[in-house]
Amino acid sequence: MATGNRYLGLIDKFRAVLPVSDSTRLISIGEGNTPLIKLENIPALTGKNVDIYVKYEGLNPTGSFKDRGMTMAVTKAVEEGSKAIICASTGNTSASAAAYAARAGIKAFVLIPEGKIALGKLAQAMMHGAEIIQIKGNFDHGMQLVKDVAEHAPVTIVNSINPYRIQGQKTAAYEIVEALGKVPDYHCLPVGNAGNITAHWLGYTEMGKISGDHPIMVGYQAAGAAPFLKGEMIDDPETVATAIRIGRPQSWDQAWAAQKESGGWFDLLSDEEILAAQKLLSEKEGIFCEPASAASVGGVLRDIKNGKIPEGSTIVCTLTGHGLKDPDTAISQCAVNPQAIDASLDAVKAAILDKL
Ligand code: AN7
């Protein structure tokens, strides 16, 4: 067995392109280094010849891509002497902030929209000991409150308006190019606050400084929460994909820049299309992501079929969060609930034989 090359997290690996020094105490839980998985069964369904890879960010320590940015944001907060962090969140940021604060030994305050975050994410924030503040409002209200309160209290904001979040998250692009051995033709991801598309574009443009190589960036939104499709902020975002139930994206200008400079586009999917893509990935590839994440794959399949993404393309989709985050939505879209039968050989045989 190989020894001596233990993975120490993404700051350690990418320190040459991150704002840390040799003496910085790294707050890490082994985030990053997630697999880039080639889809084997789904591409054929399009009838076109394409390579689709998914970057399975659900395999980060707290189950989402947020850990990439959070390790940097909390590392820098601690380095700067902060004793408390704060964020607004649709769920994943709160889970990640709570975990990294616990690791660092500082306090985390998380503002979440009452009744609108997935069960697993709430469980995480509670278990990691965050101070949970439920508000009678949505993410956008929470974000404004966080900005306001940070002017009156000694707390560091760890939403993606914190530039260290973007720095950490750009490492996903570095990992993809390393794993593929080339820059993908298309990079597709779900868009809420647009921090992640901003971070990926930063990573790709840093790497491509000399060659000019970069992917075309494509962002998919939920139909009920699609300010980039409307061309302006919206007030009452609504979608089953609660992670991206956001009407006022914080990285608005940066996401438009990524779209324009890369020659990409934004598009939207209905909740039904999002859930169908989530189920497809689960059933055909054995990969369980949360609804918001599946928007990238659902959108890509449509854009391959309609020819917007041409044959021969190498496509990467970011699967932003793990399916286990939201068991309620998963179970509610599966038609048949498992029936209990007698614990006898006859009953089990009967249950199996007519399904073979
Ligand atoms: C699974 O946790 O905004 O476009 O507060 O959890 O960078 O916002 C989550 C966002 C996509 C959108 N997929 O990324 C939060 C939060 C999942 C997410 C997004 C989120 P951005």
Q: Which atom of ligand 1 is nearest to the CA of 94?
A: 2
Task: Report how far residue 223's alpha carbon sits from residue 270's, in angstroms, rounded to the nearest whole number.
Answer: 5
Range list of H helices, the chain: 10-13, 66-79, 92-104, 119-127, 139-149, 163-169, 171-180, 195-207, 227-230, 252-262, 271-285, 291-305, 327-332, 345-353
Give the pLDDT score at 55: 98
pLDDT band at 1 (very low <50, low <70, confident <90, very high): low
Would you list the DSSP string of 15-44?
GGGSS--TTPPP--SS-----EEE-SSSGG
What pLDDT, in 10s, does the model give residues 86-134? 999 999 999 999 999 999 999 999 999 999 999 999 999 999 999 999 9
pLDDT band at 335 (very low <50, low <70, confident <90, very high): confident
Among 66, 217, 240, which is best to mutate for testing ligand 1, by the most ligand atoms less than 8 A from CB?
66
Picking from 171, 176, 196, the residue whose alpha carbon sits closest to that of residue 186 is: 176
What pLDDT, in 10s, does the model give residues 203-237? 999 999 989 999 999 999 999 999 999 999 999 99
| 89 close to ligand 1 (CB < 6 Angstrom) | yes
pLDDT band at 336 (very low <50, low <70, confident <90, very high): confident
* DSSP assignment letter at 140: H
* DSSP assignment letter at 186: E
- pLDDT higher than 80, residue 272: yes
Q: How far is the CA of 354 from the centre of ligand 1 (A)?
A: 43
Domain 10-63+165-333, CATH class in plain words: alpha beta
Residue type, 310: P
In this prediction, residues 21-34 reach a mean pLDDT of 98
Domain ranges for the chain, please list them: 10-63+165-333, 66-162
Among 122, 140, 197, 320, which is best to mutate for testing ligand 1, by the most ligand atoms less than 8 A from CB?
320
| 264 close to ligand 1 (CB < 6 Angstrom) | no
What pLDDT, in 10s, does the model give residues 296-327? 999 999 999 999 999 999 999 999 999 999 99
- pLDDT higher than 90, residue 2: no
What pLDDT, in 10s, does the model give residues 175-197? 999 999 999 999 999 999 999 99
Residues 6 or more apart in contact with residue 305 via CB below 8 angstroms: 46, 47, 48
* pTM greater than 0.85: yes
Cα 269 from chain centroid? Answer: 17
Give the pLDDT score at 5: 80
Q: How far is the CA of 190 from the centre of ligand 1 (A)?
A: 8
Integer CA distances (angstroms), 309 to 32, 147, 185, 301, in order? 28, 39, 9, 9
Q: Do domains 10-63+165-333 and 66-162 have the same CATH topology?
A: yes
Q: How far is the CA of 4 from the centre of ligand 1 (A)?
A: 35
Give the pLDDT score at 70: 98
- In b/e form, how buried is each residue of 76-91, taking b as 16+ CB within 10 angstroms? bbbbeebeebbbbbbb
What are the structure tokens assigned to 88, written together? 């607004």
Give the pLDDT score at 4: 74
Among 90, 159, 162, 197, which is best to mutate for testing ligand 1, by the most ligand atoms less than 8 A from CB?
90
- pLDDT higher than 60, residue 174: yes
**Which CATH number does 66-162 carry?**
3.40.50.1100
What are the structure tokens assigned to 333, written together? 């879209």
Q: How far is the CA of 307 from the centre of ligand 1 (A)?
A: 28
Give the pLDDT score at 3: 66
What are the structure tokens assigned to 324, written together? 């286990």
Give the pLDDT score at 240: 98
CA atoms within 13 A on the CB side of 94: 33
Give the pLDDT score at 96: 98
Backbone φ and ψ of 106, nearest 5°: -120, 175
Task: Report how far residue 318's alpha carbon sits from residue 188's, in angstroms, rounded to the nearest whole number.
Answer: 7
Give the pLDDT score at 64: 98
What pLDDT, in 10s, does the model give residues 137-166? 999 999 999 999 999 999 999 999 999 999
CA atoms within 13 A on the CB side of 283: 9
Give the pLDDT score at 181: 97
Backbone φ and ψ of 322, nearest 5°: -75, 145
Among 196, 268, 324, which is best to mutate for testing ligand 1, by the most ligand atoms less than 8 A from CB?
196
Picking from 121, 92, 137, 136, the residue whose alpha carbon sits closest to that of residue 248 is: 137
| 251 close to ligand 1 (CB < 6 Angstrom) | no
Give the pLDDT score at 100: 98
